[in-house]
Amino acid sequence: MSVVVKDCSYVLVHVPNFVRYGSKPYRDICVSDGPGGELEKRIYHRVRSYEEALAYPPNQVYIGNLHPDELNHIPQPWYEHPISGAKRHGRFGEVLPEEEFYGWIKIADDFDLVWLTPGFIEKIKERVSSNPFLKEGDLKKLGPGVSPERIAEKIERDGALPLYDSGTLVGSIRRDHEMDDSLKAHVLLENLLAKASGALVMHHLFRRASLKPDEVDFILSCSEEAVGDRYNRGGGSLSKAIGEMCHCNNATGHDIKAFCAAPLHAILDAASLVEAGVFQHVVVVGGGCLAKIGMKYSSHLKHQMPILEDVLAGIAFLIGKDDGINPIIRLDCIGKHPIGAGSNQQAIMTSLVVKPLNKIGKKMMDIDRYATELHNPEVTLPAGSGNTPYINYKLMGALAAMGGEISPASIEEFVKTKGMPGFAPTQGHVPAAVPFLGHALEAMREGKMGSALFVAKGSLFLGRMSQLSDGMSFLLERNPKNEGHKDS
């Protein structure tokens, strides 16, 4: 039996009023002049409007309205070359405005953690209600709201965090334990935003795949958060929480943790469960990461550019049995970075690219496209963090040259033809190669592409338990039974 990627979805949620709660801005604001101070004002002077975030070319690529290769033809900086007539909805998902997302947050909240004022609920109710994914039972959870006086008191006396809309206080999120760091307001906000954006992207997946939520057997969340309490920090399970919000009544699941490589680990686990016949329909879902919002804000301020890390990103994939149409995950061509492989980049990339391909008798040039970590370079370069995809593609090209497949002079050509520009928000797990999966899926269904290798690394050393890093890769191939679409 073979395993296929049956469908996928991608969403962005524009969250300008949550930039202050990204890990880096939040820490810096706390140690400078506090909320409402000069630093926060400087940040908010550079935060983008929804329309600006929507028309940003990499964001349009992410939701499927442009192909990644089209970025090669748009002059940089891309934020100065918005897409004219950019659409909220794309082939793979949408860019959700913040006002509507507040409704999703409230609906995701099963513990009355979030209070919104009656006036704000009234303001957002119509737009939230018009969302096709939300049912009457969901909308009831918006409730009547809480008075601004009670909200102000909760913030003042009880460690709650203020929530804003266009700079105006419209609500709060409270802590759920006085002494538990895992249940403090900021952590609960992170978790809730991951849950709400994860549910949004999962709903999009069901619509794209024409799948009923009850048909899902198992859910693997690869989100970046640590749901838990003082006795089991990071214990989970966001997968079941997202599944519950999406009415997956027959599913269970668990969370996969592998730093930025988690989506690849999760997809391989899902594929293995399907291959083994344990489950038929497994969903891999990743909600957005609040901690990464505004991470490089200080460099963006220094370069007098917009703060580009203003969107939460969501990813979802449906893994199932061979349907004769969708591309196959080659389980005999899995790349891993073993403990004993060493930590230099050449060793890592050899383990993830050359070795798995050699195992099935393929060479690097046999593969049509490579997807590596697709961080948007416009976000990282001003911060001196380099152009991650370009660095990785160049190393892959060098490996092809070392293998005698291309000449050293052709490495740049390899980068151009086998790689692509980075377009994913710097959300940690999200750029992990899989933002290209949707584009590859469609190209392979249409017979326009034969194969793509997905490669991602994880920075395990950040957790201070090991100096090791991690990495996984898998090969996606056009389904040979898809006779309707031969080579174009």
Partner 1 sequence: MKAIKIREKEVIDLFKGKKAIVIGERDGVQGPAIAQCLVAAGAEIAYVTTECFV
- Residue 169 φ/ψ, nearest 5 degrees: -65, 120
Concatenating the DSSP letter of every residue in 230-261 gives TTBTT---HHHHHHHHTT-TT-EEEE--BTBT
As a whole number of Å, the CA-based R_g of the chain is 22
Q: Does 457 bind partner 1 (CB under 8 A)?
A: yes
Residue of 132, 277, 384, 404 interacting with partner 1 (CB under 8 A): 384
To partner 1, the closest distance from the beta carbon of 99 in angstroms equals 30
Q: Does 350 bind partner 1 (CB under 8 A)?
A: no
Q: Does 338 bind partner 1 (CB under 8 A)?
A: no
Q: Which of 343, 319, 192 is nearest to 265 (CA)?
A: 319
To partner 1, the closest distance from the beta carbon of 76 in angstroms equals 18
User: x/- binding map, residues 109-128, to partner 1, per CB under 8 A?
Assistant: --------------------
Q: Does 302 bind partner 1 (CB under 8 A)?
A: no
Residue of 84, 210, 304, 467 interacting with partner 1 (CB under 8 A): 467
Sequence-distant (6+) residues with CB within 8 A of 143 are: 106, 121
User: x/- binding map, residues 387-406, to partner 1, per CB under 8 A?
Assistant: -x--xx--------------
Residue with Cβ nearer partner 1 (342 or 403): 342
User: x/- binding map, residues 257-296, to partner 1, per CB under 8 A?
Assistant: ---x------------------------------------
Residue of 76, 459, 480, 481 interacting with partner 1 (CB under 8 A): 459
Sequence-distant (6+) residues with CB within 8 A of 80 are: none
The answer to whether the CB of 229 falls within 8 A of the CB of 180 is yes
Report the 10 Å Cβ neighbour count for 136.
7
Separation of alpha carbons 304 and 294, rounded Å: 14
Question: Which parts of 56-75 interact with partner 1 (CB under 8 A)?
Answer: none
Residue of 344, 361, 409, 487 interacting with partner 1 (CB under 8 A): 344
Q: Does 426 bind partner 1 (CB under 8 A)?
A: yes
Separation of alpha carbons 88 and 61, rounded Å: 12
To partner 1, the closest distance from the beta carbon of 139 in angstroms equals 38
Question: How big is the CA angle at 48 (ends 120 and 70), to the nearest 5 degrees?
Answer: 125
Q: Which of 185, 222, 17 is nearest to 101 (CA)?
A: 17
Q: Does 429 bind partner 1 (CB under 8 A)?
A: no
Between strands 369-371 and 451-458, the pairing is: parallel
Q: Does 383 bind partner 1 (CB under 8 A)?
A: yes
Which listed range, 166-174, 178-186, 231-239, 456-464, lies at the site for partner 1 (CB under 8 A)?
456-464
Reported as half-sphere exposure (CB side, CA atoms, 13 A), residue 325 has a value of 7
Sequence-distant (6+) residues with CB within 8 A of 310 are: 14, 15, 16, 19, 47, 48, 53, 293, 294
Q: Does 373 bind partner 1 (CB under 8 A)?
A: yes
Q: Does 191 bind partner 1 (CB under 8 A)?
A: no
Q: Does 462 bind partner 1 (CB under 8 A)?
A: yes
Q: Does 2 bind partner 1 (CB under 8 A)?
A: no
Q: Which residues pair with 413 in a beta bridge?
A: none
The answer to whether the CB of 311 falls within 8 A of the CB of 425 is yes
Q: Does 341 bind partner 1 (CB under 8 A)?
A: no
Q: Does 469 bind partner 1 (CB under 8 A)?
A: yes
Residue with Cβ nearer partner 1 (326 or 380): 380
Q: Does 50 bind partner 1 (CB under 8 A)?
A: no
Residue of 343, 408, 412, 481 interacting with partner 1 (CB under 8 A): 343
To partner 1, the closest distance from the beta carbon of 200 in angstroms equals 24
Q: Which of 471, 440, 162 is nearest to 341 (CA)?
A: 471
The answer to whether the CB of 212 falls within 8 A of the CB of 165 is no
To partner 1, the closest distance from the beta carbon of 439 in angstroms equals 21
Q: Does 309 bind partner 1 (CB under 8 A)?
A: no
What residue ranges bind partner 1 (CB under 8 A)?
Answer: 260, 342-345, 373, 375, 380, 383-386, 388, 391-392, 426, 431, 457, 459, 461-462, 467, 469
